[in-house]
Structure 1
Amino acid sequence: MKREETVDYNIKAAWHAIARMYNQEAVKHDITTSIGFVLLNIDAEQGTPATKIAPLLGLEARSLTRMLKSMEEKGLIFRQADPVDRRLVRIFLTEEGKRKKEVSRRTVKSFNQAVQDTIPADKLKCFYDVINQINRIVDEHKFS
């Protein structure tokens, strides 16, 4: 079987192409794709518990910790103890963080709109059905 005929190769190749496109846009705004995704997952009003962000993005806690530190140094976020549960730390966006989040949101929406404008709805539905089924297979697959 050629690599181009495997599911994993095609998913990875597509994701790398999307990531390169997002990174080209992100660099114009002095952020990375990863930072953009973190910003998109922080509630602009209520903040988001730091412990909730890593699982949303499939990141290890250590990686997220380094990224949050970098984002704090760039003035995109700040941390604040939860007023009810002082052990919980919430991540909030600064005004600059809100601006960069909006850039990220527009970039993601623009790409998705281009996909929806180009690919017929029935084919997209089929794609979502297949990718969800692949995710279930991954979740259920056990290596010996």
Structure 2
Amino acid sequence: MDDSLHYLIMANQMLVQKALLYKLKDTGLTIGQPKILDYLSRHNGSNQKEIARACFLEAGSLTTILNKMEEKGLIRRQILNGNRRSFHIFMTEEGKKKQQLVSEAFSEIERKAVEGISKEEMEGFLSVYQKIYANLLDEAGSSSINKKTDQ
């Protein structure tokens, strides 16, 4: 196993993704949908630009995912304040049920991930990881990563 930071970040993300998809295999949810439901659970009614930015998705990819979610009855799009250029996304009752399953799956994965780690170790890790996130977000802000989702 490679102990470099970039490898561990990438490997952990893939392991979480695989575990999540395994736990949700009987729900009909596909890649990208759990992350959007998780975001909407805290930001229901967000517009597509906000969702794309928060979920680190390209606008085109988000549109494809949202179309499938709408077909499954998980979300509904709504125009607010007469602005026809911006749809706001709301979870349906079915979407809220699926989101609850997503939340439970994330909780199980997190419990397993932090097994054997003390509260103090976890607090220290989160503090450092938040700094890494801020540094990378700053770097992304000066690169094309965020500029594509801002269009």
TM-score (norm 2): 0.80
Deviation at 1:128, TM superposition (A): 1.1
Distance 1:6 1:71, change over 3 A: same
> Does the Cα contact within 8 Å between 1:22 and 1:33 map onto a contact in 2?
no
User: Conserved in 1, the CA contact under 8 Å of 2:40 and 2:90?
Assistant: yes
Q: What are the within-5 Å matches in structure 2 for residues 1-144 of structure 1?
A: 4-43=2-41, 47-82=45-80, 84-87=81-84, 88-116=86-114, 118-140=116-138
Retained in 1: the 8 A contact 2:20–2:109?
no
Question: In the superposition, relative to structure 1, how do residues 22 and 60 fare at CA in structure 2: closer, same or farther (>3 Å)?
Answer: same
SS in 1 for 2:83: coil
Query: Which 4+ runs in 1 deviate beyond 3 A?
Result: 43-46, 113-118, 139-143
2: CA distance, partners of 1:133 / 1:51: 25
How many residues matched?
Answer: 140
Give, in whole Å, the separation in 2 of the partners of 1:60 and 1:22: 22
SS class of match (2:32): helix
**5+ residue gaps, structure 1:** none
Structure 1 pair 114–7 and aligned structure 2 pair: CA distance change class (3 A): same
Partners of 1:127 and 1:44 lie apart in 2 by: 24
After superposition, the CA RMSD in angstroms is 2.4
Give the fraction of aligned pairs with identical amino acids, expressed as a percent.
26
Specify the structure having the higher radius of gyration (Cα). 1
- Unmatched 5+ residue regions in structure 2? 144-151
Most deviating of 129-138 and 67-76: 129-138
What whole-Å deviation, never above 9, does each CA across 1:55-81 have from its counterpart, x for those lacking one? 111111111011001111111111111
Which TM-score applies when normalising by structure 1? 0.83
Give the structure, 1 or 2, with the largest relative contact order (CA under 8 Å, sep 6 or more): 2
Q: Determine if contact 1:41/1:53 at 8 Å carries over to the other structure.
A: yes
